[in-house]
Amino acid sequence: MKDATTGIDRRAKHLRTALWSIVLIAAAAMLLPLTAYVWTAAVQAQETQDQAEHAGKNPRSEYWREVRRSDEGYTAVRGQETNVLIQSRGESWRELRNGPVKVIGAVMVLGVIGAVLLYHLTKGGFKLEHRTGRKVLRWAVSDRVLHWYTAVLFIILAITGLSLLWGRHVLIPLLGKDGFGAWANFAKPVHDYLALPFVAGLVVMLLKWFHHNIPASYDLEWLKKAGGYLGGGHPPAGFANAGEKAYYWTLVIAGTTLVASGFWLLFPNLGFERDAMQNANIVHAVSSLVLTAFVCLHIYLGTLGSEGALEGMLTGEVDEGWARQHHGVWLEEVQQSGGAKARESGGRSATAPT
């Protein structure tokens, strides 16, 4: 009886074990597939968190932001600035050159030309009061050759350079793109090759005429009376009056700036970085525009604006009346020094100041 009871208990125990095994297997069969959903949900949650942390940061956008900031990368090409894909400061240079530099420069140069025309139409220039017939040597042959050499080169450089600066707005409408392209292919090398000969002439001229352009006390009176061009008599002036001295020192300052910036542009392979070249281009344009405005005024005052002035640079001699009217202090100094041989109109020799 005991054995039968034990057997029944054993079978019941096996039955319970079997049932629980079935239950566990069934539960596992249902729960294990759900782990994939749990894992996917966890991954999605992490991605959502990462996206929240990097909100607004698109990898491609970040890449191009670095490019636009001119951040250096890597390239197999060797050379200066080869690791910079885009130099963003170039856009700032373009806007400055094609905007304020072009516009203000045009207003300045055309403003000087317009003022000169208005003055000549209303005043007719500074007339020579009387001629004495006696000639005074003012410019030696070397001075005249130096002046015309430098002047002609400057005019050629101004025409070629400013035509490239303003060509897009002025020449393309007149010549068309092909015509302007042909002109640019001619003007650019001419401008470059004549730059160094011009620099040589400018340096010699500034050094040779330095002693004539040292400021003097009577220059202030000349400036107050505007040289007598607006009335008020004949203010004192030495060999160079205050206006000519102002022109000379403009040549010194703006000319030096023009030459230095032009050197940067002519020799880019010396290791100058691109932003330095862009700055040099702006400085070169501004200094050339300033000089062009002053040269326009100088040309007028040396020709139509002052009767008798051009004779000095053509023949070397000026009438004594012109010298007394425009450069009285210089004429007195020459007379006090004893003068020199000069010629009187009609061919007769006479003792006159030089």
pLDDT of residue 37: 52
Name the band, by pLDDT with cuts 50, 70 and 90, for residue 41: low
Which pTM was predicted? 0.72
pLDDT of residue 64: 56
Using a 10 angstrom Cβ sphere, with 0-12 exposed, 13-18 middle and 19 or more buried, the burial of residue 109 is buried
Name the band, by pLDDT with cuts 50, 70 and 90, for residue 341: very low
* 3 state DSSP class of 342: strand
pLDDT of residue 349: 32
pLDDT tens track for 110-168: 999 999 999 999 988 888 888 988 999 999 999 999 999 999 999 999 999 999 999 88
Domain 91-352 homologous superfamily, CATH? Transmembrane di-heme cytochromes, Chain C (1.20.950.20)
Better-predicted residue by pLDDT, 119 or 58: 119
The ranges assigned to domains in the chain are 91-352
pLDDT tens track for 83-119: 666 666 777 888 888 889 999 999 999 999 999 999 9
Better-predicted residue by pLDDT, 260 or 350: 260
pLDDT tens track for 310-323: 999 999 999 999 99
Give the number of other CB atoms < 10 A from CB of residue 171: 18
Task: Pick the closest to residue 309 from 326, 331, 291 (CA basis).
Answer: 326
Task: Pick the closest to residue 294 from 344, 246, 336, 223 (CA basis).
Answer: 246
pLDDT of residue 336: 82
The average confidence (pLDDT) of the chain is 81
pLDDT at 214 over 70: yes
Name the band, by pLDDT with cuts 50, 70 and 90, for residue 257: very high
pLDDT at 247 over 90: yes
